[in-house]
Structure 1
């Protein structure tokens, strides 16, 4: 478990809905592929949040770091963010989607044990491809109280 923050410059934010039966990773890859034929292209991992919005349906918000600035593209639901900054955070790594709930519990336990409050929002998931698979780092953003300093 690590205390830290998540920072990515030149990001686009894209929100879309996916049914539980659909391959959500394929949906994120489709978003990533959109930029590959452009002069502006992805330079880092995909960061995403997901939250349930109905029975078997999730809303995904993906953040993709680019090599340069981009104008908003409202017709594709793409919003440009100069800098994604999430912090302070508690984070933990995992290698399978099936481990997400277990990692959430580990993060919540560590926060409780250390008298830290997690913000009431979906966790951030950093998805990194490596030879042979995909790894995830899950970040929970912490609430700051007056006078709190995290180093």
Structure 2
């Protein structure tokens, strides 16, 4: 059975990397083309990739060292982090998968990373935005010229 997952990982990793790099390039350069100047999005993508890569390596090292409880706690802390930082972006998934591939193969980190990305999307893009909107509506505002 391990040969099957190795073959799946051998096929999945290049395809996933190619698709995610295409998405990253499309976000960084937009529709202007290949020869335009990169925007701040490319630097943001680099930071996201390196952060997710280090996170994946940390999880792998903790799991390999026998600290699976600590690895689980670090994984749960990602949900708090996802409220403030968009972890659902393609560079984060790529870094996470590459950081964990040596220890877990490519298939399991891809499945876990996709699930974490979806939860991160809900937390960052919807729950956070809803709470910020509700907070803005509840706070009194002093608008000049409305009542005096």
Do Structure 1 and Structure 2 share a fold, with TM-score over 0.5?
no
Higher gyration radius (CA): 2
- TM-score normalized by structure 2? 0.28
Q: Which has the higher strand share?
A: 1
- TM-score normalized by structure 1? 0.28
Q: Which has the higher helix share?
A: 2
